[in-house]
Amino acid sequence: MAGELASLAQAFFAAAPELSLQALGSGVHVPSLDLSPYGIPVKHLLAEHNAELARQYLTLNQLAFGGIGVPRWVLSDLYLLPGAIGLLRCPARLLKAPARERLLLADEEPAIGAACYVAPSLTPGLFVGVSLFSFLPGRSASAWVKLLTLGMVRAKRLRGVTQWDNPAVRVHSRLGPMRLVGRVPGGHEYDERTFVYETDLSDEARVARAMLRGDAALPAVRIPVTDLLSLGTLLDRAEAGARLELVPPGQDDGHVLVREVPPG
């Protein structure tokens, strides 16, 4: 199944010719990036020379995340200086409300439709998912911009933070099973329903099957996303070493789908 992700990525862009992949970050990192992840060309835009695009990203991030949107200095110091944001660009008319109105762009002007930022970490190959959003519903735009951004930065593993009841669980599980790591170090604004997960990206064929939802459904226990007691117990067990994962599609009808992987 080698090269399967390249075929899937090409099919995604062939079906949506108005979308293109770009990156916004500091020029110093360009040689470290793969600007053709899964064969999709990335146009890298220097953050040093594209302040207007950075402002557009800031506006959309704050719209997507409300009270916990990125502050401007964090965008500069912790996104654009150390890394690169992956962007799906499109004509502004494709954006869902209220993003379109907020940006005040004419219909055909280029806009950010979806974006992903993953931060580099001290552990080689391990990146941390920081911000993922999409204003292009109904076409798996966030799963694609996430996968292609991870390819662009050459990530092998991802640790991310999400909430049991966030529809994004279905997006994250497009890249494969989400192993439960535990609670968020240092806490979180939505602590009681937030957790850290890890996705292993080293097996491209497995990621491709997950993107297609091609694997047979694994046996899983269904736990309501509101059952915070049971979900908290899962995190206790994960923190104590149990191997627990959310299996694709991760979430279904108000439940998360959990399985315990036997040791060995």
Ligand X SMILES: CC(C)(COP(=O)(O)OP(=O)(O)OC[C@H]1O[C@@H](n2cnc3c(N)ncnc32)[C@H](O)[C@@H]1OP(=O)(O)O)[C@@H](O)C(=O)NCCC(=O)NCCS
Binding site for ligand X (CB under 6 A): 64-65, 132-134, 136-143, 162, 166-168, 170-171, 174, 249
Q: Report, in Å, the least distance between residue 28 CB and ligand X.
A: 28
What sections of 27-140 are H helices per DSSP? 51-65, 72-74, 99-103
Helix (H) or strand (E) holding 31: none
Length, in residues, of the chain:
264
> Across-strand partners of 238?
none
Q: Report, in Å, the least distance between residue 171 CB and ligand X.
A: 5
| Strand boundaries in the chain, DSSP class E | 20-25, 42-46, 84-91, 110-120, 126-134, 157-163, 178-182, 194-200, 221-224, 244-252, 255-260
Q: Report, in Å, the least distance between residue 212 CB and ligand X.
A: 11
Nearer to ligand X, 190 or 232 (CB): 190
Q: Report, in Å, the least distance between residue 31 CB and ligand X.
A: 30
Integer Cα distance of 17 and 10 in angstroms: 10
